[in-house]
Structure 1
Amino acid sequence: MPAFSWLALFFGAFYFVYGAYLPFWSLWLEGIGVSAEAIGMLLGAGMAIRFAGNLMVMGRIKGAAQLLPVTRLLCLLSLLAFLGFYLSHQLWWLVALTLVANFIYPTLMPMGEALATRMVLQTQLDYGKVRLCGSAAFILASTLVGALITDWGSQWVLHIMVLGLGLMLLLSWLPLRPAPQDVKGERAHASLRDTLKSAAVRRFLLVTALLQGSHAAYYGFSAIHWKAAGYSGTTIGYLWALGVVAEIAMFAADKRYFSRFGAQRLFLIGAIGCLLRWGLLGATTEFGVLLFAQLLHGVTFCISHLGAVRFMTRGLAPEQLIPTQALYAALSLGITVAALMTLSGLLFEPLGGGIFFIMALVVLPVFVLRLKPEHPSSA
């Protein structure tokens, strides 16, 4: 199967599951009787263990040929892990299974990104277009699950996730052509430690950690916050879907309108969007404002993520791609979000929507940080 089709299906399956998990997992936990503080702890612990999972799994990949077999194994283990949530709702079991599931399942995100960036190098893949297939699947899942939990209850969050994980496992076994392989003349992959010695990589990780970490309150508590304001699960699903519609538009426009922009400019645009979006979400739950704030997801997440892709594909040597991808997933999308999500859980009851103002403060250093690219094209 051609790389574009394979990756479109894989991203579609992964983000379909993620579209059920990210907006609604907190509601599933609330539905089985878990307190807000415990939800924050579970979500934070899950995000934190991603740090270890991403580093341990991605760090052991020594060549591009290993990407596909490891992806298939992770799909199987992810399905088994989430099936475990049917067995018990005791807090100790939820903690243990949260750690296991989040060690395995989220690692599929950097694996998919590593496969995609490898195909960018091998086939000049249009990353934006293939990635928007995942965003479309996210919309489908968030809309579907929002409607299901309104009519049938929050237990449908887990049901849809398990169905999606089964589909992803089947799709992962389709043949990928061309197979991932190292670029001719490419040196041996750098270690994580050697990669971290690069000043450019360290600065990149700090900037992306602040931008992506600021989404922690949104990921963990927007659904609960909006539900408390009187919005139904269906409406919450639509709000999340609207954010991803904006994301799709940005991914679709990437090659035509944003390809001339380097990582630095994209990160600054993302930071401006974060200040505006988190300020609005902290100030009000008025529906019109929520609609506008959700459209800004295309800036706060998508433009920031495109900046990361731009830096990795234009500013790094090929042998640095996989370790930098692992560090980006572990630090920027993992441990930083985990810490800020745990903080959000502790502050949500006393502050409510005020936790979004804290997220706005997080992105301020991005305006004074400057990347130190190893190649001018990533500036």
Structure 2
Amino acid sequence: MTNGAGAGRLSAQARLGLFYVVSYLGTGVSLPYIATYFRSRGLTGAEIGAVLAVPLLARPFLGPGLAVWADGFTLRRTPLVFLALGAAAGYLAMAFSSGFWGLLICWLVGMTCLTTLTPLIDVITLRRSRLDGFNYGVPRGAGSAAFIVANLAMGAMLAVTAPSIIVAWITTAAIGVAVVAALILPPERVHEAGVTKPDRAERWKGLGGLLRDRTFVLAVLTAGLIQGAHAFYYGFSALLWRQQGISDPMIGVLWGVGVAVEVGFMWFAEPWRRKVGPEKLLVLGGAAALLRWTAYAFAPPLWLLFPLQALHALTFAAAFMASLRLIERLAPPQSASAAQAINSALSAGFMLGVGTLAAGPLFDAFGTKGYLAMATMGGLGLIGAVMLLKKARG
């Protein structure tokens, strides 16, 4: 695979930013709207919840294995092409499948391939940002901005067309990701030139070494607790706000505020983030999660929701950026992909999956008070972050 003629004139930052943009053009539709598609295919609410949760719960078992497989290639972008095409195949197959089990299998294939892309591209971006001196948050933040654009665009399209457009959109986006990976991404090597590529057994041994590192495991669990605490918000905030009498357009504005502060944090807070360090950022993320979700449990008025939504910069963006930097520092270079895959599988996978499964019963039984379970997760994450900070200080 070689870069296209135009790609050679683009900086590494621009190439990586384009990858994130195309990728999040798909995620900006699949995350908010895939339940709408499944409902149009006749699935019940419980079936939709199960379909959405299975890939999240499977990530700790499938993600690290795929990362070990990815490290067997010469260039880091090569497995990205195959994974993106796998995601496109899984998504496209949904249009020709029927029933709960058929849609579940297709969604599991598509989401497993797509979500494995995230830690693999993060490894490339973190390394290039360190070597080339750019802010990792700029290309990653461009992806979040694309998420907002795709979200708004699909919302407008669904007002005039059938939900089948959702599958067409996310399939096209996945194919676009494969094209960008093959032709645009920099040819980053998995292993340094002259270094013998480890065989499969050695790569699995490196994965086992990570899991025996107590500090690494604590960092992954801490990040997972803070990120997993968003589950109730992702699943039921719109319903709860609607019950409070907040209009649908204003709910969209509230969600937009959360993503906007996330983008702003990634783009403009890099000097401060480096000064503070990842351990302190995790402490801030855990403390903000404890405050934010406790406040949401008491149905705050609209005016108070805006500053609480601004805490998304800490509960998501700061904790996310901190975990990437911390995992990068703790893992040896030859296990970088596996380390980030474990981090992603737990924080954006298993913990979020458990929270998603619990969110429905919590909503039915307690309404807004269900947020207190998320506050508890955030509080546990805060304890873990404090422990990591103490370890860093010796």
Pair in the same fold by TM > 0.5: yes
Aligned to 2:152: 143
Q: Say which of 114, 132, 150 aligns to 1:123.
A: 132
Aligned to 2:293: 278
Alignment of 1:251-262 (within 5 A): 251-262=266-277
Deviates more, 1:149-158 or 1:36-45: 149-158
Aligned to 1:174: 183
Aligned to 1:77: 86
Shift in Å, 1:141: 1.2
Equivalent pair of 2:76/2:188 in contact (CA under 8 Å)? no
Letter of the 1:59 counterpart: V
The reply to whether residue 328 of structure 1 matches residue 343 of structure 2 is yes
Letter of the 1:281 counterpart: Y
Q: Say which of 172, 178, 191 aligns to 2:206.
A: 191
Alignment of 1:299-378 (within 5 A): 299-369=314-384, 370-372=386-388
Letter of the 1:266 counterpart: L
Answer with 1 or 2: which has the greater Rg.
Answer: 2
Aligned to 1:164: 173
Shift in Å, 1:33: 3.9
Q: Secondary structure at the match of 1:180?
A: coil
Q: Say which of 92, 98, 105 aligns to 1:96.
A: 105
Deviates more, 1:47-56 or 1:334-343: 47-56
Shift in Å, 1:341: 0.8
Aligned to 1:240: 255
Letter of the 1:207 counterpart: T
CA displacement 1:327-377 (0-9 Å, x = unmatched): 101122211111111111233323333322211111112332245589959
The reply to whether residue 26 of structure 1 matches residue 22 of structure 2 is no
CA displacement 1:96-145 (0-9 Å, x = unmatched): 22222222221111121122123234434421112111111111112222
Equivalent pair of 2:293/2:375 in contact (CA under 8 Å)? yes
Shift in Å, 1:225: 4.2
| Closer, same or farther: CA 375–72 of 1 in aligned 2, 3 Å | farther
Deviates more, 1:89-98 or 1:262-271: 89-98
CA RMSD of aligned residues (A): 2.9
| Closer, same or farther: CA 35–92 of 1 in aligned 2, 3 Å | same
The reply to whether residue 209 of structure 1 matches residue 211 of structure 2 is no
Aligned to 2:3: none
Q: Which segments of 5 or more consecutive residues in structure 1 lack a partner in the other structure?
A: none
Q: Say which of 61, 71, 74 aligns to 1:65.
A: 74
- What is the rounded CA distance, in whole Å, between the counterparts of 2:344 and 2:48 in structure 1? 22
Shift in Å, 1:237: 4.1
TM-score, length-scaled by structure 2: 0.85
- What is the rounded CA distance, in whole Å, between the counterparts of 2:92 and 2:244 in structure 1? 32
Letter of the 1:112 counterpart: I
TM-score, length-scaled by structure 1: 0.89
CA displacement 1:9-45 (0-9 Å, x = unmatched): 1011111111112222233334444333222222211
| Closer, same or farther: CA 159–222 of 1 in aligned 2, 3 Å | farther
Letter of the 1:60 counterpart: W
- What is the rounded CA distance, in whole Å, between the counterparts of 1:15 and 1:65 in structure 2? 26
The reply to whether residue 110 of structure 1 matches residue 125 of structure 2 is no
CA displacement 1:205-262 (0-9 Å, x = unmatched): 1101111111122233334444566666655444333211111110012322221112
Q: Secondary structure at the match of 1:60?
A: helix
Deviates more, 1:227-236 or 1:212-221: 227-236
- What is the rounded CA distance, in whole Å, between the counterparts of 1:127 and 1:375 in structure 2? 26
Letter of the 1:359 counterpart: M
Alignment of 1:43-62 (within 5 A): 43-62=52-71
- What is the rounded CA distance, in whole Å, between the counterparts of 1:91 and 1:285 in structure 2? 38
- What is the rounded CA distance, in whole Å, between the counterparts of 1:235 and 1:125 in structure 2? 36
Equivalent pair of 1:14/1:164 in contact (CA under 8 Å)? yes
Q: Secondary structure at the match of 1:7?
A: helix
Shift in Å, 1:307: 0.8
Aligned residues: 378
Q: Which segments of 5 or more consecutive residues in structure 2 lack a partner in the other structure?
A: 1-6
